């Protein structure tokens, strides 16, 4: 008998924390999450405050504005201002909230729905054909087009954007879960549980579900990244979240008309968007390598 | 001594740091003469494959041959450069592998694969190469070689593929042929043909053969000399008869004693109440398809069996004979197409899974692969108490029962807190047997339960199964392809071929006086059947 009595879970955690990708990607992602949470305390102003006098200022512009009591207060436009004189820095910092909420909500919902459908499709042959044909049909439409179509059916807003991206992401999760379940279902230890008289629901939760966790965590991070991008695209196209709410996509959409004169409106939100997506993807790569080496070869 | 095609002197291969031992193999010295078959035998992990890989220069990257020499006709393959090695392989040494399915390129015609060897190493023209390929395919007794030369590997049977592999290996007349478990993946009748072929090739061409196997029957069949390995060292070597019949070292004696004999011991017929029986059990695969006329396969055809308490019924047959299908139908892991299954007086063939659940307690199954039979994420204890808790036993009681059963199967009670990966294959199989016994079944099905185990462990697990059957008055259905194992443990025997039971009777009678042609074929094909191993007495 081997001497180490560590559970597989503890070993995996240890391996995870010694992976460079996980540490680097995770650190950047956590910093961005903190930025979103503590937005009011990061020397920001109301991201929706307009200031007609200070429109289209370059980064570093110092101005004085009057508050509601008429007092003059100095303000610094760290990253410049947009066409309505709103502070781009504050909008970017607050915009992190929208992006992260969309990313997390989409990943959570898509994984939850996909997990249930995938388990059912993988384990019950009768349901497999029906569920998978529907998923195949959805996969045939490009995710972004599907999202645009769904958003245009509802009024624009955070929830319809989340719903639209979830619908587009679910089929990928279902396929992944189903493929795992199909192979696990044939494992002798699952058959042993069947002969042990374990009820089907318990059998799925106890013996099949744990095998999907690792690939799902990995897939989940990739969904976060893709949802953030799709949200930005929808906002940029003007069909996503209403323009007054600061999101990275909205900021870039605002700056589009004056891009050649004032590139900062697109440059800075672009950089932070790219950095966020990159960090989440690096994190996902690292998790994939540590959690699921077989999955690494499959994708 | 110049007659030796291979001389291995003091070979040592180091394992990467952190392994359970420093060297994969150490102080390995032996020779293979031309026209001689040297069998390297040992249990898993003994280093026999590493030895072969070192000679071929095919060691995995992490392993390094640090000591000794492997002289192929006087040339040290350990010191050869990659280019020199490539030249040596094929022309002067060749290798055949265990898995004929994966060792051939599935998208190239077999003739092309043979002639590729010629293309690389000779200056023959394309038509000469093709002619030579057909010639060598005829030499390994492939039927209709002119046609088969243009087939793809998937069109051939396992035995035919292994013949292609041998043809590829021998087409350049190498001095040394290394065969790494070449018949392990094959059925016993195919194995017999391949062994005959290897022997014939070696006699006709004077090739030296280094034959790696774990099967002592195979050793008895073809070896001139035998090298016995354990834990990376050579324990004993010598002429076949000396090693097999009169082993000197205790380890070899133990191994030889563990090889089950082909002679079934005397057993009195078991008369007990019927525990399980099937009537005209049929399992048909393949459906009619959307437009009718799909392909149908009868995996089991009208199987009637009856099993009394305290009796062991064996089902033997080659792969695809339907023996596992019968077992899996009885425990309803698959649903039979038609027929009756009676378990302890209850008809269970057609009842729903929900209605079946209370009856599951009465029948348990032990699978072949001990590494996949236990959920790697759950402790042994949780695996043990799952079934009894499903049937309403409180956790504490189940745990204390589990502790008792662990001791019964020869493991300590504190093993319950450990994970499966901390146990060896034999220990895991003991755990699986203990798990099956947790619910006091009346019928225990062992589906190739000892086939994945080394011979010494196999003997212990067989004894455990037999003891448990006697102690609990179990009815045991024992599925195996191994006629030696079947001879030792079964009271009665059923021989299956292509889904049909061709012969049935008391084990001793079937072995002594087989009535069906196929049974006779099976028994004749069993390698080394006439050799009485070392300390083993029939």
Instruction: Note the pLDDT tens digit of each residue in B8-36.
Output: 999 999 888 777 788 889 999 999 998 89
CB A20 within 8 A of CB A64: no
DSSP B281: E
- Helix then strand then coil, % of chain A, to nearest 5: 70, 5, 25
User: In this predicted structure, what is the pLDDT of residue A38?
Assistant: 93
Q: How far apart are CA B86 and CA B76, in angstroms?
A: 14
Q: How far apart are CA B340 and CA B323, in angstroms?
A: 17
Interface test with B, best of A5, A195, A205 (most B CBs within 10 A): A195
Q: How far apart are CA B348 and CA A206, in angstroms?
A: 26
The reply to whether A188 touches chain B by the CB within 8 Å rule is yes
pLDDT over 50 at A3, yes or no: no
Task: Tell me the backbone φ, ψ of residue B425, rounded to 5 degrees.
Answer: -60, -45
Q: How far apart are CA A114 and CA A97, in angstroms?
A: 25
Closest to A283 measured CA to CA, from A19, A15, A102, A9: A19
Buried b (16+ CB within 10 A) or exposed e, A17-26: eebebbeebb
The reply to whether A12 touches chain B by the CB within 8 Å rule is no
Residue in A with minimal Cα distance to B412: A1
CB atoms within 10 A of CB B473: 15
Ramachandran category for residue B234: left, alpha or beta (phi over 0 → left; psi -120 to 50 → alpha)? beta
User: In this predicted structure, what is the pLDDT of residue A297?
Assistant: 46
Closest to B329 measured CA to CA, from B276, B283, B275: B283
| Per-residue pLDDT tens digits for A147-192 | 888 888 888 788 999 999 999 999 999 999 999 999 999 899 999 9
CA B196 to centroid of chain Cα atoms: 19
Treating both helix axes as pointing N-terminal to C-terminal, what angle do A158-185 and A209-236 enclose, rounded to 10 degrees? 150
* A257 SS3 class: coil
The reply to whether B9 touches chain A by the CB within 8 Å rule is no
Look over chain B and give the mean of its residue pLDDT values, rounded to a whole number: 88
Q: How far apart are CA B509 and CA B528, in angstroms?
A: 20
Within 8 A by CB and 6+ apart from B33, the residues are: B3, B4, B5, B208
* Tokens 């069998």 belong to residue: B39
Q: Widest CA span of chain B, in angstroms?
A: 77
- The secondary structure of B122-140 as a DSSP string is ----HHHHHHHHHHHHHHT
pLDDT over 60 at B536, yes or no: no
Residue in A with minimal Cα distance to B370: A188
Q: How far apart are CA A200 and CA A209, in angstroms?
A: 12
DSSP B186: S
Chain B closest CA to A193's CA: distance in Å?
7
Percent of chain A with pLDDT strictly greater than 70: 95
Please state the pTM of the whole predicted model: 0.83
Give start and end residues of each alpha helix (H) in B331-394.
353-360, 380-390
The reply to whether B405 touches chain A by the CB within 8 Å rule is no
Lowest-confidence region among A63-67, A180-184, A272-276, B195-199:
A63-67
Residue in A with minimal Cα distance to B361: A196
Tokens at B411, concatenated: 């493991």
Q: How far apart are CA B44 and CA B455, in angstroms?
A: 10
Tokens at B83, concatenated: 């280019």
Q: How far apart are CA A65 and CA A44, in angstroms?
A: 15
pLDDT over 80 at B422, yes or no: yes
DSSP A87: B
CB B284 within 8 A of CB B350: no
pLDDT over 50 at B234, yes or no: yes
List CB contacts (< 8 A) between A199 and chain B: 357, 390
pLDDT class of B80 with cuts at 50, 70, 90: confident
CB < 8 Å from B in window 210-269 of A: 210
CB B203 within 8 A of CB B39: no
Percent of chain B with pLDDT strictly greater than 70: 97
The reply to whether B27 touches chain A by the CB within 8 Å rule is no
pLDDT class of A294 with cuts at 50, 70, 90: low
User: In this predicted structure, what is the pLDDT of residue B398?
Assistant: 94
Nearest-CB residue to A187 (from B368, B372, B423): B372
SS (H, E, C) B283-296: EEECCCCCCCCCCC
Q: How far apart are CA B200 and CA B37, in angstroms?
A: 11
CB atoms within 10 A of CB A203: 20
CA B524 to centroid of chain Cα atoms: 18
Contact check, Cβ <8 Å, B365/A199: no
Tokens at B61, concatenated: 């990257």
Contact check, Cβ <8 Å, A7/B422: no
User: In this predicted structure, what is the pLDDT of residue B8?
Assistant: 92
User: In this predicted structure, what is the pLDDT of residue B517?
Assistant: 93
Contact check, Cβ <8 Å, A1/B418: yes
Q: Sheet containing B176-180: which strands, arranged edge to edge?
A: B93-96, B176-180, B208-213, B37-41, B225-230, B233-239
| Per-residue pLDDT tens digits for B113-171 | 999 889 888 888 999 999 999 999 988 888 888 888 999 988 888 888 888 988 888 88
Look over chain A and give the mean of its residue pLDDT values, rounded to a whole number: 87
Residue in B with minimal Cα distance to A185: B333
Strands (E), B258-337: 274-285, 297-308, 312-316
Q: How far apart are CA B531 and CA B216, in angstroms?
A: 10
Q: How far apart are CA B169 and CA B264, in angstroms?
A: 39
The reply to whether B377 touches chain A by the CB within 8 Å rule is yes
Mean pLDDT across the stretch B462-482? 92
The reply to whether B427 touches chain A by the CB within 8 Å rule is yes
Q: Name which residue leads in pLDDT, A154 or B403.
A: B403
Q: Tell me whether residue B203 is exposed, middle or buried, using C-beta atoms within 10 angstroms of its C-beta: 0 to 12, 13 to 18, 19 or more.
A: exposed
Interface test with A, best of B20, B21, B377, B451 (most A CBs within 10 A): B377
Residue in B with minimal Cα distance to A191: B333
User: In this predicted structure, what is the pLDDT of residue B537?
Assistant: 40
User: In this predicted structure, what is the pLDDT of residue B101?
Assistant: 74
* Tokens 């009868």 belong to residue: B298
Chain B closest CA to A194's CA: distance in Å?
8
Chain A closest CA to B256's CA: distance in Å?
26
The reply to whether A129 touches chain B by the CB within 8 Å rule is no
pLDDT over 50 at A296, yes or no: no
Contact check, Cβ <8 Å, B376/A8: yes
pLDDT class of B401 with cuts at 50, 70, 90: very high
List CB contacts (< 8 A) between B372 and chain A: 187-189
* B454 SS3 class: coil
Closest to B336 measured CA to CA, from B286, B296, B290, B285: B285
Residue in B with minimal Cα distance to A203: B386
DSSP B16: P
pLDDT class of B289 with cuts at 50, 70, 90: low
| Per-residue pLDDT tens digits for B473-532 | 999 999 999 888 999 999 999 999 988 999 999 999 999 999 999 999 999 888 877 777
């Amino acid at each position: 008998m081997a001497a180490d009595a560590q559970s597989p879970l503890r070993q995996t955690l240890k391996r995870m924390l010694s992976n460079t990708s996980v540490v680097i990607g995770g650190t950047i992602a956590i910093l961005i999450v903190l930025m979103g949470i503590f937005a009011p305390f990061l020397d920001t102003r109301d991201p929706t405050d307009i200031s007609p006098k200070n429109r289209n200022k370059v980064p570093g512009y110092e101005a004085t504005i009057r508050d509601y009591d008429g007092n003059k207060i100095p303000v610094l436009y760290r990253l410049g201002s947009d066409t309505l004189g709103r502070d781009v820095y504050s909008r970017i910092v607050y915009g992190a909230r929208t992006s992260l909420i969309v990313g997390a909500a989409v990943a959570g919902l898509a994984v939850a729905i996909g997990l249930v459908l995938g388990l059912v499709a993988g384990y019950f042959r009768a349901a497999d054909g029906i569920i998978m044909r529907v998923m195949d049909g959805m996969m045939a439409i490009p995710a972004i087009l599907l999202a645009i179509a769904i958003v245009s059916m509802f009024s624009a807003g955070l929830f319809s954007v989340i719903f639209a991206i979830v619908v587009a992401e679910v089929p990928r999760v279902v396929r992944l879960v189903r493929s795992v379940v199909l192979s696990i279902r044939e494992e002798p230890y699952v058959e042993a549980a069947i002969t042990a008289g374990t009820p089907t629901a318990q059998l799925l939760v106890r013996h099949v579900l744990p095998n999907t966790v690792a690939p799902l965590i990995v897939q989940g991070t990739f969904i976060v990244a893709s949802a953030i991008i799709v949200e930005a695209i929808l906002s940029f196209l003007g069909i996503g979240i209403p323009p007054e709410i600061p999101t990275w996509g909205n900021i870039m959409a605002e700056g589009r008309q004056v891009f050649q004169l004032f590139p900062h409106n697109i440059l800075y939100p672009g950089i932070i968007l790219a950095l966020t997506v990159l960090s989440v993807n690096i994190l996902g790569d690292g998790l994939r390598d540590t959690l699921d080496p077989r999955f690494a070869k499959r994708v | 001594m110049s007659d030796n095609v291979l001389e291995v002197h003091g070979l040592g291969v180091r394992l990467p740091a952190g392994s359970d031992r420093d060297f994969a193999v150490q102080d390995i010295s032996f020779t293979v003469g031309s026209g001689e078959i040297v069998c390297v035998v040992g249990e898993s992990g003994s280093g026999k494959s590493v030895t072969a890989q070192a000679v071929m220069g095919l060691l995995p990257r992490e392993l390094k041959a640090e000591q000794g020499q492997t002289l192929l006709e006087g040339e040290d393959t350990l010191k050869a450069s990659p280019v020199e090695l490539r030249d040596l392989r094929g022309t002067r040494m060749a290798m055949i592998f265990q898995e004929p399915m994966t060792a051939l390129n599935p998208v190239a015609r077999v003739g092309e694969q043979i002639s590729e060897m010629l293309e690389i190493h000779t200056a023959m023209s394309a038509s000469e190469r093709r002619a030579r390929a057909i010639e060598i395919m005829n030499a390994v007794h492939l039927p209709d070689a002119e046609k088969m030369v243009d087939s793809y590997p998937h069109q051939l049977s396992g035995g035919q593929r292994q013949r292609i592999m041998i043809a590829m290996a021998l087409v350049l007349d190498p001095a040394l042929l290394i065969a790494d478990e070449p018949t392990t993946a094959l059925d016993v009748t195919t194995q017999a043909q391949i062994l005959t072929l290897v022997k014939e090739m070696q006699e006709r061409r004077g090739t030296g053969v280094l034959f790696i196997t774990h099967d002592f029957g195979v050793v008895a069949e073809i070896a001139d000399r035998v090298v016995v390995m354990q834990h990376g060292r050579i324990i004993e070597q010598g002429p076949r008869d000396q090693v097999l019949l009169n082993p000197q070292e205790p380890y070899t004696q133990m191994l030889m004693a563990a090889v089950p004999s082909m002679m079934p011991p005397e057993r009195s017929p078991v008369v007990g109440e019927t525990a399980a029986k099937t009537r005209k059990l049929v399992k048909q695969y393949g459906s009619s398809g959307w437009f009718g006329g799909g392909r149908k396969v009868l995996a089991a055809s009208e199987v009637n069996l009856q099993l009394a308490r305290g009796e062991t019924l064996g089902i033997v047959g080659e792969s695809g004979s339907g023996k596992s299908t019968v077992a899996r139908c009885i425990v309803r892991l698959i649903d039979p197409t038609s027929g009756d299954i009676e378990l302890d007086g209850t008809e269970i063939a057609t009842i729903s899974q929900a209605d079946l659940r209370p009856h599951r307690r009465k029948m348990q199954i032990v699978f072949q692969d001990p590494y996949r039979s236990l959920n790697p994420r759950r402790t042994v204890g949780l695996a043990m108490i799952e079934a009894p808790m499903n049937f309403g036993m409180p956790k504490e009681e189940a745990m204390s029962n589990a502790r008792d059963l662990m001791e019964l199967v020869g493991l300590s009670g504190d093993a319950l807190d450990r994970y499966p990966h901390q146990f060896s294959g034999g220990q895991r199989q003991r755990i699986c047997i203990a798990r099956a016994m947790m619910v006091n079944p009346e019928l225990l099905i062992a589906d190739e339960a000892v086939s994945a185990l080394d011979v010494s462990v196999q003997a212990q697990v067989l004894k455990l199964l037999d003891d448990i059957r006697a102690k609990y008055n179990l009815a045991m259905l024992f599925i195996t392809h191994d006629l030696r194992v079947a001879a030792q443990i079964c009271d009665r025997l059923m021989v299956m071929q292509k889904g049909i039971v061709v012969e049935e009777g008391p084990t001793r009678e079937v072995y002594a006086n087989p009535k069906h042609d196929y049974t006779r074929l099976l028994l004749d094909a069993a390698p080394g059947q006439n050799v009485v191993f070392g300390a083993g007495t029939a």
